[in-house]
Structure 1
Amino acid sequence: MNLFASDLDRTLIYSKRALQSFSQDHLSDLVPVERKEESDVAYMTGRSFAMLKELAESLMFVPVTTRTYEQYKRIFIFSEDIKVNYAVTANGANIHYKGQELLEWKDVLKARLGQDCTLYQDMIDKVSCLSLQGNLKKAENLFFYYILDSVSDQINIEEISRFAFEQGWRISLQGKKLYFMPNPICKGEALKFIKEREMIDHMIGAGDSILDYDFLRHCQEALVPNHGELVQRPEIKELSCKITKNKGVWAGEEMLDTVIKTVNIPT
C-alpha cells in the first residue's frame, strides 16, 4: 500500500500572510480550506484541492502537522471533502484514527519523554534565561514556541540550537515562530508507528521545515517546496528529495502533481 504524508502550513495550505509574502493573495483560483471564527484563513488552489481529493481516494493520505488537534480541526476540508483516517498533530505528539486518539501511541511517547530529555516546565524555565523578545505560547503541555517581536541578527540561532540539543530538545524557526521541541516528539516516529500498524510498503512525503525532516527521511521519496526552511539546512543533503521549481501555492500544486504521476493515478 502507498502512503502520502504531508505537512500542511506552507506546504499544502497557505494563510493570508503566507500568500501575501509570495504575492499570491489575489490569485483567482484560490479556494478556502480553513475557517476560524467564521472567517476563511487558509487556502490552496482549486487544482491542488482536486488533486489532493483524488489522491486521498487512491492511497492513504496522512496529514502531519505541528498544529494542535483543535487547530487541525479548523481545516474543514478533512471532515467535509477529503478522506482522512489518520492525522498526526502536535508534531507527532498525537495520532488520531478516525477522530479518536490512539492511546497506545500516547503511552509509548510518555515513556520516552520521561527518559530522553529535560522535562517540559524545566525547559521553559531554562529558555526564559535566554531573554527572547516575544510571546510564549504553550502547546498541550508538551512543547512550546515564541512568537518573536522580530527576527534580527541579535538572535543567535546556532547558539540556541546547541543549548536545546544539550537538553534533549531541538528548535525550528518558521517566520517569527521559534519552536522548542523535545526530541521524542517528532513526526517521524509517529509516521513509523502508522507504517507498521498498516503494513505500508511505500511512503512519499512533503514538507517545508526542519521539523518535517524527521519524517521525510523515512520516506522513499521526499518533496520539499523551494521556499522552505529545509532548503537552507544541511540536513537536506541527507534526503533523497526533489525541490520544487515553484514557490507558495504553486509549489503545493507541483508537489501534488508529482505524487499523482509517481503513483500513476490517471488525471
Structure 2
Amino acid sequence: MIYSRNAFSAADEVPMVCVEHLEGAPLSFMTTVAALRMASLTEPAAVVPTTTRTIKQFGRIRLPGAPWRYAITSNGGNILVDGVPDMRWRIDVDAQVRASGATLSAVSAELRARVDDSWVTKFRVADHLFCYLVVKPKAVPEGFLAEWDGWCRRRGWSASQQGRKIYTMPRAVCKSRAVAEVRRRLWESGELVGEAETLAAGDGALDAEMLRAADFAIRPRHGELEKLNWTHPNLTVTRTSGILAGEEIINWFIKGAPATSE
C-alpha cells in the first residue's frame, strides 16, 4: 500500500502524498488518488492494517482512514486494539513459539554465526519475536537463503527474503492467525454481519498464508510473490507494478471481491 522512492517504477510523475517520515525525512508514499480512496474505504469495510513491521515501525505510518480499531503488526505477533497491544494475544503467541521449536536467542545466535559485514548491513531483533537482516542483495552468498531456511524449518522457523531484508520467523507467528482472530472479534461485537467476506492484499512470502486464507486476495505484479510466480484460485494479480499497483489494489478493495484473474 505504501512505497519508498526506490519502488516508484514508472510512476514518477504521478501526484503523491507522504505517509511516513523517518527522523523528519519523507520515507514512504502513496499516490494522491490512492490516499483519497483509502480514506473512503473505512466507511463500507472494517479495514485492518496488517504488516510485518514492528509496533514502533507501524507507528511511523499515517495511513488515510485512521484511527484503526484493530491493526496487526510483527507478522501477526501483535494485535493492536485502539493502538494498544493486546497482551493476552501476545502471551498466547509467545507460548506457541516456545512450544513449537527453537528459541529466538538460539536462532539469532546461529544466524549471527553465518553472516558477516561484507553482505549484511544490519541485524535486527523485532519485538522480541523474530529477527531479520538488511543485506546487499547482490552480495548475498549463493544458496544462503535456501540453506538457512532448511536449518530453520527443522526447528519450527522459516526464512524468506523481501527486497533488502531476510526475515527469520517462527512458523507459529503468521498474519493469517491474527486476521482470523480479529475477524472473530468483529463478528462477536456485531461490527461484521451477514455474508461479510475477507479481502486481503500482500506481496511477500510472509503474506502467502494470509492471502490463501482470505475469501478473495490480490497481489501486485512485483515483489517476492511475483518472483515466485505465486498464485492461488482466489487470487487476482494487478496489471500495474510499483506505486500504481497500490492504487489498483485500493480500487479492487472498493469494488469488493471481483472475479480473480492473472
- TM superposition score normalised by structure 1: 0.86
CA RMSD after TM alignment? 1.9
Q: 1:149 Cα deviation (Å)?
A: 3.0
1:45 equivalent among 31, 38, 55: 31
Identity value in percent = 28
Counterpart-to-counterpart distance in 2, 1:136 and 1:50: 36
How many residues are matched? 247
- Does 2:12 correspond to 1:17? no
Query: 1:19-98 maps to which residues of 2 (within 5 A)?
Result: 19=8, 22-24=9-11, 26-77=12-63, 81-98=65-82
Bigger share in strand: 1
- Does 2:94 correspond to 1:106? no
Q: 1:154 Cα deviation (Å)?
A: 2.5
Counterpart-to-counterpart distance in 2, 1:260 and 1:238: 21
Specify the SS of the correspondent of 2:48.
strand
Give 2:141's aligned amino acid.
Q
1:250 alignment partner in structure 2: 244
Greater shift after overlay, 83-92 or 242-251?
Answer: 83-92
Query: 1:227-246 maps to which residues of 2 (within 5 A)?
Result: 227-233=222-228, 236-246=230-240
- Does 2:138 correspond to 1:151? yes
1:117 equivalent among 97, 101, 113: 101
Mark the CA change 1:163 to 1:239 in structure 2 (over 3 Å): closer, same or farther.
farther
1:209 equivalent among 204, 212, 234: 204
Give 2:246's aligned amino acid.
G
2:215 equivalent among 217, 220, 223: 220
Mark the CA change 1:263 to 1:221 in structure 2 (over 3 Å): closer, same or farther.
closer
Counterpart-to-counterpart distance in 1, 2:140 and 2:110: 22
Give 2:169's aligned amino acid.
M
Q: 1:162 Cα deviation (Å)?
A: 1.3
Q: 1:23 Cα deviation (Å)?
A: 4.2
- TM superposition score normalised by structure 2: 0.88
Query: 1:122-137 maps to which residues of 2 (within 5 A)?
Result: 122-132=106-116, 133-134=119-120, 135-137=122-124
Counterpart-to-counterpart distance in 2, 1:31 and 1:16: 12
**1:83-107 CA distance string (max 9 Å, x none):** 4211101111110011121122112
Is the Cα contact below 8 Å between 1:56 and 1:84 reproduced in 2?
Answer: no
Greater shift after overlay, 46-55 or 124-133?
Answer: 124-133
1:140 equivalent among 127, 132, 136: 127
Greater shift after overlay, 153-162 or 47-56?
Answer: 153-162
Counterpart-to-counterpart distance in 1, 2:257 and 2:171: 32
**1:107-145 CA distance string (max 9 Å, x none):** 211210110021000001122332353121111221111
Q: 1:239 Cα deviation (Å)?
A: 4.9
Specify the SS of the correspondent of 1:193.
helix
**1:169-197 CA distance string (max 9 Å, x none):** 11121112111011111111111111111
Mark the CA change 1:106 to 1:233 in structure 2 (over 3 Å): closer, same or farther.
same
1:6 alignment partner in structure 2: none
Counterpart-to-counterpart distance in 2, 1:181 and 1:138: 11
Gaps of 5+ in 2: none
Compare relative contact order (CA 8 Å, sep 6+) and give the higher one, 1 or 2: 1
Q: 1:153 Cα deviation (Å)?
A: 6.6
Counterpart-to-counterpart distance in 1, 2:174 and 2:42: 23
